[in-house]
A and B are shown apart, each in its own frame.
Chain A
Amino acid sequence: MRYISIFFQYVAQYMKTRLTYRVDMVIEIMSDLLFQAVNLVFILVVFSHTQFLSGWTRDEIIFIYGFFLVPYAIFGAFFNIWDFNERYIVKGELDRILTRPIHSLFQIILERMELESLFGVITGVAIMFYAGGRLDLTVSWYDPFIFVMMVLGGAAVYAGIFILLACISFWSDSRTSIMPMMYNIGNYGRYPVDIYNNVIRFVLTWILPFAFVGVYPSAYFLGREEWYNYAFLTPFVGIACLSISVVVWNIGVTKYRGAGN
Chain B
Amino acid sequence: MAEATEIQAQEEPAAALKKDAAFISFLRSEGERIELLLRTLRRLGHTPKRARLVYEQMFLSGIQTLHVVLLVGLFIGMIVSLQTGIELAKLGQQDQIGTIVAISMAREMGPFITGTILTATVGSAIAAELGTMSVSNELDALKVMSIDRLSLLVLPRLVGLALIAPLLTLVCDTVGIIGGAFVAQAQLNVGYEMYMTSAIDALRPTGFLLNLPKDLYAGLIKAVVFGGMIATVACNEGLKTTGGALGVGRSTRSAVRDSIIGIIVLNYFMTWFMYQA
A pairs with B: no
